[in-house]
A and B are shown apart, each in its own frame.
Chain A
C-alpha cells in the first residue's frame, strides 16, 4: 500500500527524532526512571486551558513534589514553554534563535532553531495569584527560619485575602519568634488596609517601629486618606517615628562607609607613618610598595586557583615579605646616602616609584588585573530592612584594626620597637648605648614597607590592580599622616578614620569628587593652622 506523499516526506524527520529520543532516553535511563507520574500528569495539563493549568498547579502543590517550587517559579517568570509538535515542556530563560531550551522532565538541552516552534505557558491573573501564594506557602513550610522569614516578607509586599488566610493559619504554628513577629506585622498591615476603625487603630500601634517598606507605604496611605481622624493622627505619629529611624540608620550606614573608607586610608597611610613619621624619610615610592603587595596577591591567586579563600591568607605574609624586601633594598641602595636631606630623598624615591611602575607595566602589562574576592568575604549582613552591611568592608575594617594593633605592639613591646623609638628620638645617644642604628634604619624601613604591602592585599579586594594603583593612594596617604601628626600612630588612625568619615558625609551633599576636593582644601588650611598635625610630637625632636 503506497503511503501518502506528505507522510513519506516527514518520514526521515520522524526517524531522526525517534533516534534522538531513544538515544537520550538510553543515556538518561537512570534519571527518567525516577520521573513519577505526577510530573507527566501536570505537564499534560499545563499546555491546555487556564482551568486545566490551574488544576495542574493545584495538583503539583498538593503532591509536595520536590521540584514544585522550581516549576512554579518557571511558570511565574514566564520561562516555561512547550514545544508545539509534541507538547513537551521546556525551560527557556532566553527565547531567541540559537538559545538553549532545557527539557523539563529529562533535563536534555536542545538548541532553539525557530522561536515559533515553542509557545509560552501563559498565565492569567488568577493563576498568578495562585502560584505566588503557593510559592509563599512552600516557603513558609521550609525548614530554614531564614527562608520562612523571606516568604513572609514576600507576602507582606503583596497581601491578598488568600495570603492573609495562609498567614493566619501559620502564625500559631511558627516556632521562631522573629518570624512570628513579622507575620503579625503582615496581618496588621492587612488590618490597616481592610479592618474597621478599632482594628486599624490597633494595627497602627502594632506596626509602630517596623522598618519594612510595605509598612511604611501602608502607613503613609492611612495617614493621608483614612476616614477617622484619630487613626490618621496616630498613623502620622508612627510614620514620623519610622522616618526618624530610617534617617538614623541612614546615618549609621554613612558612618559605616566612612569608617571603611577611613580604614583603607589608615592602612595605606600607616606604613608611611612609620617611614615618614618615625624615620623622617619621605618615601614617594610608598604607593608603589602598596601596588607590589596587590600584585603579590594577584600572583598568589594565580598560583593557587583552586583555593581562593586560602590564597588571600597566604598573600598577607607574602606581600609583607615582598614589599619589605624591596623596601630594605631601597633603603640600603638609595635612601641611606640621603639622610638629613629630605627633599632629595623625596626626588630619589619618586624616581624609584617611576621605575617600579614601569617594571610592573613591563612584567604584567599595563592593563588592570582583577583579584577575585573569596567567598567568605563576599555578601552582606542584613541588620534590618533599611540597613545592610557589606561583608568585605567589615573585613577591611577589622583587618585595619588588626594591623594597627600589631604595629603598636611591635613598636611598644619588642626590642626592635624599643630600638626604633630610641633611634628616632636621639640617634647619637642610641648609638652610644650600643644600638646598631644602620640596622635599625633598614629594619624600620622594611617594616613600614611591609605594612604597605599588606595594605596592598586589602586594596586588591576593593579596586582593580594596576600599575597606577600606588599613585592613586600616595597623596591620600601623605594627607593622613600629615593631618594626624608625624611620628604618631594614633594620630594616623584618628586622622584616617575622620577623613574617611568626612568624605562620606560630604559625598551625598556634594558628590564624590567635590567631597574629595573639599577634604583636600580642608587639610591644606588645617596645616596652616597647625603645621604639625592633630597630635604633634612634643619635645626637642619636633623642632626639626
Chain B
C-alpha cells in the first residue's frame, strides 16, 4: 500500500522497476537456456558486468538520496561502499580456509606472509555469514552516524562538508594501505573461492549474484522512494533549499540529516558488499577520492533528486567507461572531464531532466 502510494506518479521508478523485473527473469533464462552460439545468448561475463553496474547504480541511488534531496554533496560515499566491500571481502577470505597458497586453515595468506600467528580481534566472527551481513550494514552505518553526528551538530555544511568527507575517505585510503591495519595492505583482499558454499566461478553463482544485485537495487530504490515520497522527503527538500528556515520552523534539521545520511551509507555498504564477489577483489584504491567524485557525476549526469536518474547515470557512464577504457583509453579522462563540465554548465537536471522536459512540452 505504502509502496503503491509512493510509486504513484513516479513514472521513472515504475519503468525502472519493470526493467529490473524483466532483467531478473530474462537474463538467467537467456544465459542458461540458450546455447552459447545463439544470437540472444548472454555470456556469463556480461551477466557479471551487468551485476557490477547494478551495484554501482545502488551506490548512485544512495548518493542521490543525500545530495539530491538533502543537498549534502558527499565526496566520501565510496568510503562506505568500500567498507561494505571489505566486510564482505573478510567473510570471503575466511571462506577460503586452508585452500590458500600457504594452506593455513585460520589465517588468510597475507597474514601468514606478514608472520602473524593469530587472527586480529576484528577478524573474528567473519567466518559466519550472518555476522558479516550485519557488519556490512553496521560498519558503514556507525561510521556515517558518528561522522554525521559530529558534522551536522556543529552545522558544518556546504563545501566544508564536502571537503571533510573527502578527507575522511582519503584518510581511510591511507589507513587501509598500511599492512599493519590487517586488511591486506596494498593488495587488498582477493582470491576468493566461494560464497555461502557456492563456487564463485560457477555460472549459477554469478547469476545468483546478478539477481541479488538487481533485487538489492530494486529494494534500495523502493526504500528511498518511500522515504522521500512522504513527509520526510518534503522536510528534506525544505532543508536542502532553505536550511535556516526549516530550522526556524521547528524541524530538527540535524536529526533528519543524520538519519538520511546513515541510511544512505548503509545502502552504499550493501552495494559494496555485492560488488566485491562479482569483481573478485577489494583493495584500498576503492577509497580513492576520485571514486567518490565519480559517483557524484553519475548522479549529476542522470539527474539529481529523481533516484531513477541516478540509476540511469550510473549505467550510462559505467558502460561508456568500460567501452572507452577498452577501445580508446586516452580519450576516457577527456570524455569524463568534459562530461563534468558540460553537464554542470548545460544540463543541470541531467539526462532524465532533458527527457522530462521533452515530455512536458509535447
Interface positions of A (Cβ within 8 A of B) = 282, 334, 337-338, 342-348, 350-355, 357-359, 361-362, 471, 475, 478-479, 482, 513-514, 516-517, 520-521, 523-525, 527-529, 531, 544
Checking B160, B166, B296, B343 against A475 with a beta-carbon cut-off of 8 angstroms, the contacting residue is B166
Checking B156, B177, B297 against A513 with a beta-carbon cut-off of 8 angstroms, the contacting residue is B177
Chain B contact patch, size range: 35 or more
Q: Which 3 A-B pairs have the closest CB atoms?
A: A351-B340, A354-B337, A358-B333
User: Distance (Å) between the CB of B174 and the closest chain A CB?
Assistant: 5
Contacts of B348 in A (CB 8 A): 344
Output the nearest chain A residue to B165 by Cβ-Cβ distance. Answer: A524
Q: Answer whether A338 and B344 are a contact pair too, CB < 8 Å, given A347-B300, A475-B289.
A: yes
Chain B, 287-344, CB within 8 A of any chain A CB? 289-290, 293, 296-297, 300, 330, 332-334, 336-341, 343-344
B167 on the A face (CB < 8 A): yes
Checking B156, B170, B333, B344 against A344 with a beta-carbon cut-off of 8 angstroms, the contacting residue is B344
Contacts of A342 in B (CB 8 A): 158-159
Additional pairs, 8, CB under 8 Å, beyond known A528-B154, A531-B155: A338-B344, A343-B159, A346-B73, A347-B300, A478-B167, A524-B147, A524-B168, A528-B153
Do the beta carbons of A352 and B341 come within 8 Å of each other?
yes
User: Distance (Å) between the CB of B125 and the closest chain A CB?
Assistant: 25
B151 on the A face (CB < 8 A): yes
Output the nearest chain B residue to A334 by Cβ-Cβ distance. Answer: B341
Do the beta carbons of A352 and B171 come within 8 Å of each other?
no
Contacts of A355 in B (CB 8 A): 333-334, 337-338, 341
Contacts of B22 in A (CB 8 A): none
Specify which of B151, B155, B164, B300 lies most central, judged by the most chain A CB atoms within 10 Å of its CB.
Answer: B164
Q: How far is the CA of A357 from the CA of B332 in the complex (A)?
A: 12
Do the beta carbons of B337 and A353 come within 8 Å of each other?
yes
Output the nearest chain B residue to A353 by Cβ-Cβ distance. Answer: B337
Output the nearest chain A residue to B330 by Cβ-Cβ distance. Answer: A362
Q: How far is the CA of A331 from the CA of B153 in the complex (A)?
A: 35
Contacts of B170 in A (CB 8 A): 475, 520
Do the beta carbons of B164 and A527 come within 8 Å of each other?
yes
Do the beta carbons of A351 and B338 come within 8 Å of each other?
yes
Q: How far is the CA of A527 from the CA of B166 in the complex (A)?
A: 13
Do the beta carbons of A478 and B163 come within 8 Å of each other?
yes
Do the beta carbons of A521 and B171 come within 8 Å of each other?
yes
Do the beta carbons of A475 and B334 come within 8 Å of each other?
no
Output the nearest chain A residue to B346 by Cβ-Cβ distance. Answer: A337
Do the beta carbons of A354 and B159 come within 8 Å of each other?
no
Contacts of A348 in B (CB 8 A): 340-341, 344-345
B178 on the A face (CB < 8 A): yes
Q: How far is the CA of A527 from the CA of B345 in the complex (A)?
A: 31
B150 on the A face (CB < 8 A): yes
Do the beta carbons of B156 and A527 come within 8 Å of each other?
yes
Contacts of A517 in B (CB 8 A): 171, 174-175
B205 on the A face (CB < 8 A): no
User: Distance (Å) between the CB of B290 and the closest chain A CB?
Assistant: 8
B162 on the A face (CB < 8 A): yes
Do the beta carbons of B330 and A358 come within 8 Å of each other?
yes
Do the beta carbons of B167 and A358 come within 8 Å of each other?
no
Do the beta carbons of B345 and A482 come within 8 Å of each other?
no
